[in-house]
Amino acid sequence: MILVTGATGFLGAELVVQLLQKETQIKCIKRANSAIPQKLIPFNDKIEWLIADILDYSDLDDAFEGISKVYHCAALVSFDPSLKQKMLAINAEGTANIVNLCLSHSVKKLVHVSSIAALGEAKEGELIDEKIFWEGFESHDAYSVSKYRAEMEVWRGINEGLNAVIVNPSIIIGEDAGTAGSGALFETVKSGIKYYTRGAGGFVDVKDVAKAMILLMESEVSNERFIINAENYSYKNLFTEIAQAFHLPVPTKEAKPWMLALVWRANAIKNAITNAKGGLTKSTSKSASTIREFNNAKIKKQLNLEFIPISQSITKIVNSLKIS
C-alpha cells in the first residue's frame, strides 16, 4: 500500500492523481482542517484519508500500518522569517518522524520531496548540481534551513538502512498553484507590472515533478538525490512571456537590488506597525536579484525524461487564469 503525505497540497494532489492512474487504492494523510482539493474529489472512492498531524508520532504510527511505499510531500513553504520555528518543526522534525516510521515499519522505499533551497552554490559560470552541499547556515533563510535539515534526516535514515530517494524540485508551476507560491508570480504580472528583476532560477511543471517521483519509486535507484528542473529562466524572460500570454505590456524597467532593499525594509516597518504579514522580505528580495541555474542532466539520463517546455506551461496556466 502507498502512503502520501501532503496530499492536499499543490504537488501532493497532482502526485495522487497520477498514482491513481495505476493504483486501485492508496492512503493519504491530511490535517483535520485541510480541505480536499477539487481535483481529488472524483477519486475519493480510491483514497483512504487519514487524519494526522505530521508532528504527532502516534497518529502517524497508525497511518503506517500496512504501508510499503511512502511519498513525503508535506511541508510548510514560506519566506516569512516569523515562521522559522514552525517551519523547522514541520519540515525537519516532521521529516524525522516520517523517516523513523519508515524504518520501524520496514517500508520498502521512501521518496522525499526536498528543494533546490537545500542545495549549495556553484562556482561562477557553472550550474548547480546534486553534488553541491552547503558550507554553512549563516547566509540561508529559514525555509532553506528547514529543508536542508529535513534532507539531513533522510540521509540519516539512509545510513540506518532506509531505502530512499530525494528529489530537489526547482520552482514548481502549474494550473492549480492558486495565488500562493509560484502562482503569485502569475497574479503579479496579471495585475500589471513595469519592473523585472535581474535574477534567474529554475522552473518545472508540477506534472513533471510527480511523474519523476513515481518513476524513481518504481526504479531500482536508491540512496540518491535528483534535481528536477525543466529549464533555467531569467525573471525578465519569465515576466515577459507571462505578460505576452495575458496580452499585457511587458515589464521594461529593471528593479535594482538597492530599490528592492528599500521596498523590503519599508514593508518590514509597515508589517511591524500594523501587525500584518506578506509583501517583499529580505529573503525574497535577495532571491529576486540572484542568478541560480541548475543542471538537470542526472535525472534526464536516469529516467530518459523529457520535460514539458516552460513556455507551454506558461500558456496553459495563463489560459486557466483567464477562465477563472
> In the chain, what are the domain boundaries?
2-176+202-231
Q: What is the pLDDT averaged over residues 116-132?
A: 88
Contact 20, 43 (CB under 8 A): yes
CA dihedral 164, 166, 172, 175 (to 10 degrees): -10
d(CA 165, CA 104): 18
Q: What is the mean pLDDT of the chain?
A: 87
Q: What percent of the chain has pLDDT over 70?
A: 88
The one-letter amino acid code at 275 reads N
Mean pLDDT highest for which of 112-126, 172-186, 188-202, 227-241?
227-241
Domain 2-176+202-231 has CATH 3.40.50.720: yes
Q: What is the pLDDT averaged over residues 44-52?
A: 92
Contact 79, 141 (CB under 8 A): yes
* Structure confidence at residue 148 (pLDDT): 92
Q: What percent of the chain has pLDDT over 90?
A: 59
Helix (H, G, I), strand (E, B) or coil at 165: strand
246-300 residue pLDDT tens:
899 888 877 766 565 555 466 555 555 666 666 656 666 667 767 789 999 999 9
Residue 211 has pLDDT above 80, yes or no: yes
Residue 108 has pLDDT above 70, yes or no: yes
